[in-house]
Amino acid sequence: MRPMPNEMNPPKAKQREHKVTKHGDTRIDPYYWLRVKDDPEVLAYIKAENDYTNNVMNDTKALQEKMYNEIVSRIKESDESLPYLSNGYYYFFREESGKNYRIHFRRKNEAGAQEELFLDVNEIAGKAKYCSVDFNISPDNKIMCYLVDTHGSHYYTMYFKDLSTGELLPDILHNTGEMVWFNDSRTLLYNVNEGENISKEVKRHILGTTQSQDISFFQESGHDNYVFMQKSKSRKYIFIQSGNIGSNETYFADADDPGGELRLFTRRMNNLLYVTEHNGDMFYIHTNMDAKNWRVMVTPIDKSSIENWTEFIPGKDNVKIEGFEVFRNHIEVIEKDYGLTKIRIINLNDNKSHYVQFPEDVYNAWPVNNEEYDTEFIRYNYTSFITPMSQYDHDMNRGVSVLRKQKEVPGYSRDDYVTKRLFAPSHDGKLIPVSMVYKKGLLKGNKNILYLNAYGSYGMSSDVFFASSLLSLINRGFVYAIAHVRGGGELGEEWYEDGKMLNKKNTFKDFISCAEFLISEGFTFSGGIIAQGTSAGGTLVGAVANMRPELFKCIIANVPAVDTLNDMIDGGVHNAPYHFEENGNPDIEEQYYYMKSYIPYENITKQEYPNILIKTGFHDNNVKYWGPVKYAAKLRENWKGDNLLLLKTDMDTAHFGPSARYENYKESAYEYAFILKCFGIED
C-alpha cells in the first residue's frame, strides 16, 4: 500500500524459516517466531503495527468522536434492571452515567425490606483496564463468592464476602473457573482453570481452610475431555459433566452431603451427548441418543443408567430441541424451528402444552433469570432487529405473557425501519436464511452498502438482536444482514454437521452465495460489502477474502481464528483435541489436507485484497494473539494495491474485547469510522 502524506510506511515483520512437516508435506512458516510472547522483537513488531494503525486512523478521530457521541446518545446511561427472585431475595443491578460497570443490589422478599448493595464492580475494577466479575450467593444467603478476572484470560481469583458484615473472608482461591455451593453453605466445588474456560479437575473447598488443603473431587484423565458443573434447579443435586464436542458422561452428588460419593449417571459412549436435570423422583435428560435433533428422556433417580431411560419428548426431523428448564409443575422446552427460537411449555400434571406467542416474523427469544424451582411463571428476553431488548413474564398455567420492561432507546422509532428474512440459494441448492434490517424508504438498485455478518461454527446460531449502535450505519443508508450459514445451529444438527470438518467449505460458499444473492436482489453491489466475523467467524471472513476478494470492500476480522492448522499441530491451542470434532484432526491425512486447503493463513496469495481491519487481544486464551499477528504479517508480504491493512492489538484485553461499557462504545465507533473511511464517507 502506498502511504498517504503524513502517513508512515507499513511495518514489515522479519522472516525466519521454520519448517512444519506432516504426512510428508513440508510447509514453511516464516512468522512462527511471533509466537514468543515475551520476545522484545515480537513486542516491538506489535507496537510498530499499532503505531502504524494509529497513524492511518488519525484522520478519523473527529469521526470516531461523532460516532461515539451518536452511540451514547441512544443509551439510557443510568438504568436499573428488572428484579428477579432467587432463594428469598430479589436481585437487580444499576448502571450509572459515567460508570463502566454494574452495581448489584438485593432486597429480601418481604414487605418493607430495604435494598442492600452487595457488589460494586466499579470498585473492584479500580484502574484495571479489564475487569470481569461473577458472583454466587451461598444457600443460606449469608456469603457471597465472587470471581474476578482482570486480563480476560479466564483465570479467575475467587473471593468470599460476609454479607452481614461486609467483611472479606481470608479464603482466596486462585486459578479458578465456575463454582457451585453445597447446601451447608460452607463447602463448595470449583473448577481448576486451564485457560479458555477449560478445566480437567474439580476441587472441593471448605470455608476457613487454605487452598492448599483443597482435595481433588473429580479429575478427567482423557486428553480431549473437559469438565463443566451445574446445580439442579431443585437444589438437590450437583452435576459434573466431562466430555467433548462428540461425547460426554455425567456424575452427580447429593447437594446435602458434602462428604458423600460422586456417582456416575451413565457411562460414556461414542457420539452420545446428554445433559441432566432433576424433578421430584425423576431425572430429565436432554440427549442426542437416536435423535439427531435431540430429545428429552426421563429415568428414576435410583436408576440413572441409559438402559432405564424412557422417552418424554420425541425428537423431530426438522426441529431441534436446544435445551429445557424444569420446574416443579412444568417444563420449558427451547426449540429451534428453521432458524427461529420457540418456547414450549408442558404442564407436568396433565402433559398439555402450548407455545409462547411472539409478535414478529424475525426475532430472538430466550429464558432468563428463572432461578426459582417452585413457580408458575417464567421470564424470557425478546428482541429483534427493530425491537429493543424486552423482558416478559409468562404465566405457564394461563399461557399469557406480560411485558415487564423494555430497554429505552432515546430518539428511536421502530416505525422507521424494515426487517425481513430472505433465502439465498447456495452452490448445492440449499437455501440459506438471511435476516436483514434497513431504513424504511431504501431504494434498490445496487447502490447500497451492505454489512454482512456470520459465524457458522460449533453449532452456534447467529440470532438476530437489537443493537442501537448499528443505527449509526443503518441511518446512513447501510443494510445490515446476518447470513445463517451452515456450521451454525439455526436449522438443526444436520445444518451444523454440513458445515464442519470435511464439510467446512460449505460455510464459506454459503456466505459467498448470500452476498451474491443480495447483489442480484438489488440490496447492494459487488465491492460494496463489509464482511464481519469474530473468532471462528474470523476463519470464515479470512477464507472468503482469499476466495472472492472482489465482492468485499472491507473485512472486519475480530480475534480471528486464522492459523488453526498450525495451532492444532504444535499445541498453540493447548486443548486442540477438544476441537478435532469441529475442525478436523491434522493427524489424519485426509483431514490435514482438507484443513490446509481453506485455513486463511495457509491460502494467502499475491492479489488485491479488500480493506482489512484485524483486531486481537494480547491476553486472548481462546484465539492466541499470534494467529492474527502472523496473518497480518503474511498479508503484508503478499499485499497488492492501495487498500488498507490494519492490525490493532489491544495489550490489555483478550477474546471478548473491553469489559467496560464505554470502552465498548468506543470500539464500535472505531470500527464504524474505519468502514466509513474505506468508503470515502466523511460524515
CATH number at residue 116: 2.130.10.120
Are residues 633 and 531 part of one domain? yes
pLDDT band for position 2 (cuts 50, 70, 90): very low
- The verdict on 55 and 173 lying in the same domain is no
Give the number of C-alpha atoms closer than 13 A to the C-alpha of residue 20, restricted to the C-beta side: 19
- Read off the pLDDT of residues 383-392 as tens digits, 9 standing for 90 and up: 999 999 999 9
pLDDT at 656: 72
Can you tell me whether residue 170 is helix, strand or coil? strand
The active-site residue, picked from 29, 463, 620, 650, is 620
The C-alpha angle 92, 93, 96, rounded to 5 degrees, equals 155
Which triple of cell numbers denotes residue 431?
437455501
Q: Three-state DSSP class for 293?
A: coil
pLDDT of residue 587: 93
Closest CA to 219 of 242, 187, 248: 242
My answer on whether 52 and 192 are in the same domain is no
Average pLDDT in the chain: 94
535 is catalytic: yes
Of 557, 549, 552, 554, residue with least CA distance to 525: 552
pLDDT tens digits along 597-615: 999 999 999 999 999 999 9
Q: Which of 198, 219, 240 is the last residue of a domain?
A: 219
666 with 521, same domain: the answer is yes
Q: Is 655 an active-site residue?
A: yes
Q: Are residues 87 and 65 in the same domain?
A: no
The confidence band for 246, taking pLDDT boundaries of 50, 70 and 90, is confident
What are the start-end ranges of the E strands in 23-111? Answer: 25-28, 79-80, 84-86, 89-95, 103-108
Domain boundaries, position 550: 32-72+414-678
- Do residues 282 and 301 make contact, with C-beta atoms less than 8 angstroms apart? yes
Distances (CA, A) of 351 to 312, 313, 317, 671: 10, 11, 22, 50
Give a yes or no: residue 570 inside a domain: yes
Q: Is 330 a catalytic residue?
A: no
Q: In sequence order, what DSSP letters do the residues of 506-570 get, joined into one string?
A: HHHHHHHHHHHHHHHTTS--TT-EEEEEETHHHHHHHHHHHH-GGGEEEEEEES----HHHHHHH
161 has which bridge partners? 144, 168
Q: What is the structure's pLDDT at 177?
A: 85
Identify whether residues 55 and 123 lie together within a single domain. Answer: no
Choice among 567, 655, 659, 668 that is catalytic: 655
pLDDT of the residue at 301: 96
Give residue 116's pLDDT band: very low, low, confident or very high (50, 70, 90): very high
Mark whether 478 and 617 lie in a shared domain.
yes
Residue 573: predicted pLDDT:
61
| 441 and 588 inside one domain | yes
Q: Find the mean pLDDT for residues 578-604.
A: 94
The residues, ordered by sequence, that sit 6+ positions from 576 with a Cβ below 8 Å of its Cβ are 567, 568
67 with 191, same domain?
no
Average pLDDT over residues 242-269: 94
- Is the model's pLDDT at 197 over the cut of 60? no
Query: Which pLDDT score is estimated for 151?
Result: 82
Q: Give the amino acid at 333.
A: V
Residue 561 within a domain: yes
Each residue's pLDDT tens digit, 407-458: 999 999 999 999 999 999 999 999 999 999 999 999 888 789 999 999 999 9
Strands 611-617 and 552-558: parallel
pLDDT at 572: 59
- Compute the average pLDDT of residues 205-217: 96
**Residues in Cβ contact with 571 at an 8 Å cutoff, skipping those fewer than 6 apart:** none
Does the pLDDT value for residue 3 go beyond 50?
A: no
In a domain, 239, yes or no: no
Q: Which residues pair with 203 in a beta bridge?
A: 190, 216
pLDDT digits (tens, 9 = 90+) for 532-547: 999 999 999 999 999 9
Report, as an integer, the average pLDDT of 664-668.
Answer: 95
Question: 247 in helix, strand or coil?
Answer: coil
Q: Is the pLDDT of residue 249 over 80?
A: yes
Q: Which of 385, 401, 404, 392 is nearest to 367 (CA)?
A: 392
Q: Of the candidates 186, 219, 252, which is a domain's last residue? A: 219
Report yes or no: 482 and 461 within 8 Å, Cβ to Cβ. no
Mean pLDDT of 622-634: 94
Does residue 103 fall inside a structural domain? Answer: yes
CA distance 220 to 242: 7
Give percent above pLDDT 90 in the chain.
87
Q: Examine residue 558 and state whether it is found in any structural domain, yes or no.
A: yes
Q: Is the pLDDT of residue 308 over 70?
A: yes
Same domain, 177 and 53: no
Name residue 337's beta-bridge partners. Answer: 319, 340
pLDDT given at position 574: 60
Task: Please state, in angstroms and rounded to a whole number, the distance separating the CA atoms of residues 661 and 93.
Answer: 15
- Residue 229 pLDDT more than 70? yes
105/266 Cα distance (integer angstroms): 40
Residue 475 domain-assigned (yes or no): yes
Instruction: At 181, list the grid cell.
Output: 455451593
C-alpha cell at 212: 492448599
CATH label of the domain that carries residue 541: 3.40.50.1820
Same domain, 146 and 42: no
The answer to the question of residue 589 being in a domain is: yes
* pLDDT tens-digit series, residues 551-577: 999 999 999 999 999 988 876 566 677
Contact 139, 120 (CB under 8 A): no
Mean pLDDT across 280-308: 96
pLDDT confidence of 23, banded at 50, 70, 90? very high
User: Among all chains, which residue has been given the C-alpha cell 428453521?
Assistant: 338
Average pLDDT over residues 591-597: 97
Burial label, 210 (beta-carbon count in 10 A; 0-12, 13-18, 19+): exposed
Q: Residues 500, 604: one domain?
A: yes
Q: Could you say which of 174, 190, 219 is where a domain stops?
A: 219
What's the grid cell of residue 179? 463454582
Dump pLDDT digits (tens) for 122-173. Answer: 999 998 889 999 999 999 999 999 999 988 777 899 999 999 999 999 999 9
Contacts 24+ apart (CB under 8 A), 349-355: 354/399
Please check the confidence at residue 26 and state whether its pLDDT lies above 90.
yes
338 within a domain of the structure (yes/no): no
The length of the chain in residues reads 683
The answer, yes or no, to whether residue 57 has pLDDT greater than 60, is yes
pLDDT for the residue numbered 429: 96
Of the candidates 535, 567, 650, 659, the residue annotated as catalytic is: 535
- Judged by DSSP in three states, 677 sits in helix
The residue among 448, 504, 453, 450 whose CA lies nearest residue 483 is: 453
In total, how many domains does the chain have?
2
For residues 592 and 332, give the distance between their C-alpha atoms in angstroms, rounded to a whole number.
42
Give 58's pLDDT tier (boundaries 50, 70, 90).
Answer: very high
